[in-house]
């Protein structure tokens, strides 16, 4: 299977060498690794270029369109699509990876095996670990261990096309899983693959991005009650109940401004039913 990986990178000079070292040390390397420097103001591009000059399967490009920042949502997805335009291979598996991760050496070997063993698998990833206050690597529990995380997931070509790629909105890495289920694909996490996340999720995001989580719930057609429960769960996982306010405010702001939904009505009906079914299972 041909594997193409795209890494959108903005001001990742501090981390990207660790990430790329873990890529070149894989027992099964990607066939194509495309790094898109998204208007960085540090030496991200120059650092990545050193790897590109040494390994012909690593390519680096600059995306100088518009002001950038380290934030989730449309900007990072658009940068990913800029990377897709640079793909040369007719890939079988594609992934959008972060630049601040360190993969175990057998990551792609094991992920590829999951797709080969079951053609119904449309998305697959390992688990993300971060350092705790005692300097120990622990599971980043902003989601449970069955959730396929955005920074390290791979899609089959068929699944990627059926879900119509990634949505240019925060929440893209949740809605893609739900849409994969909607279209009959299985999603899987390989719990033995522990990926180190050198910068915990949300650590460098600006405060305004927290409102976007609530916006995403609205745009995924969750509805108010399900959005409230989801927002409560997310704030508790991050051990910051104040986030509940920002999530709900983001939801109502999106509703007031009538922001466009990112899923169809039929897809939204499925998503709500799927979420409520999972909630009921936890209480039975």
Cβ neighbours of residue 240 under 8 Å, at least 6 residues apart? none
* Nearest-angstrom CA–CA distance, 54 and 171: 36
pLDDT tens for the 284 residues of the chain, in order: 999 999 999 999 999 999 999 999 999 999 999 999 999 999 999 999 999 999 999 999 998 766 555 556 678 899 999 999 999 889 999 999 999 999 999 999 999 999 999 999 999 999 999 998 899 999 887 777 888 998 999 999 999 999 999 998 878 888 999 999 999 999 999 999 999 999 887 555 555 566 788 899 999 999 999 999 988 888 887 778 888 888 899 999 999 999 999 999 999 999 999 999 988 887 77
Q: What pLDDT, on the 0 to 100 scale, is given for residue 278?
A: 84
Q: Is residue 263, in this structure, part of any structural domain at all?
A: yes
pTM: 0.88
Q: Which of 151, 170, 197 is the last residue of a domain?
A: 197
165 and 26 in a single domain? The answer is yes
Number of helices and strands in the chain (H, E): 10, 9
247 and 188 in a single domain? The answer is no
Beta-bridge partner residues of 155: 94, 123
Q: What pLDDT, on the 0 to 100 scale, is given for residue 66?
A: 60
Q: Is residue 174, in this structure, part of any structural domain at all?
A: yes
263 and 226 in a single domain? The answer is yes
165 and 42 in a single domain? The answer is yes
Q: What pLDDT, on the 0 to 100 scale, is given for residue 198?
A: 94
Cβ neighbours of residue 119 under 8 Å, at least 6 residues apart? none
Q: Which of 146, 168, 197 is the last residue of a domain?
A: 197
Half-sphere exposure of 142 (CA within 13 A, CB side): 19
* Nearest-angstrom CA–CA distance, 6 and 75: 14
Q: Which of 175, 197, 219 is the last residue of a domain?
A: 197
Per the structure, the count of domains in the chain is 2
Query: Domain range holding 218?
Result: 209-281
Q: How is 163-228 classified by DSSP, letter by letter?
A: TTS--SSTTHHHHHHHHHHHTT-EEEEEEEEEEEESS-TTTTS-TTHHHHHHHHHHHTT--HHHHH
Q: Is residue 228, in this structure, part of any structural domain at all?
A: yes
175 and 135 in a single domain? The answer is yes
Q: Is residue 204, in this structure, part of any structural domain at all?
A: no
């Amino acid at each position: 299977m041909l594997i193409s990986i795209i890494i959108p990178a903005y001001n990742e000079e501090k981390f990207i060498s660790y990430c790329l070292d873990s890529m070149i040390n894989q027992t099964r390397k990607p066939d194509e690794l495309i790094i898109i420097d998204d208007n960085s103001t540090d030496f991200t591009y120059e650092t990545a270029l050193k790897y590109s000059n040494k390994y012909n399967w690593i390519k680096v490009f600059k995306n100088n369109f518009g002001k950038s920042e380290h934030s989730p949502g449309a900007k990072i997805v658009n940068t990913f699509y800029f990377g897709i335009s640079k793909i040369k291979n007719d890939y079988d598996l594609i992934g959008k990876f972060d630049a601040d991760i360190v993969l175990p050496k057998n990551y792609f070997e094991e992920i590829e095996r999951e797709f080969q063993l079951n053609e119904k698998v449309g998305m697959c990833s390992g688990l993300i670990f971060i350092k705790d206050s005692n300097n120990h690597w622990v599971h980043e529990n902003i989601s449970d261990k069955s959730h396929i995380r955005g920074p390290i997931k791979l899609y089959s070509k068929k699944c990627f096309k059926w879900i119509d790629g990634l949505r240019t909105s925060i929440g893209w890495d949740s809605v893609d899983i739900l849409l994969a289920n909607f279209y009959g694909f299985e999603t899987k996490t390989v719990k033995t693959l522990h990926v180190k996340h050198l910068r915990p999720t949300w650590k460098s995001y600006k405060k305004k991005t927290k409102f976007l989580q609530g916006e995403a719930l609205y745009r995924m057609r969750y509805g108010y009650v399900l959005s409230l429960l989801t927002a409560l769960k997310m704030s508790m996982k991050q051990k910051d109940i104040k986030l509940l306010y920002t999530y709900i405010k983001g939801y109502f702001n999106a509703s007031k401004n009538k922001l466009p939904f990112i899923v169809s009505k039929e897809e939204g009906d499925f998503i709500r039913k799927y979420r409520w079914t999972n909630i009921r299972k936890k209480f039975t």
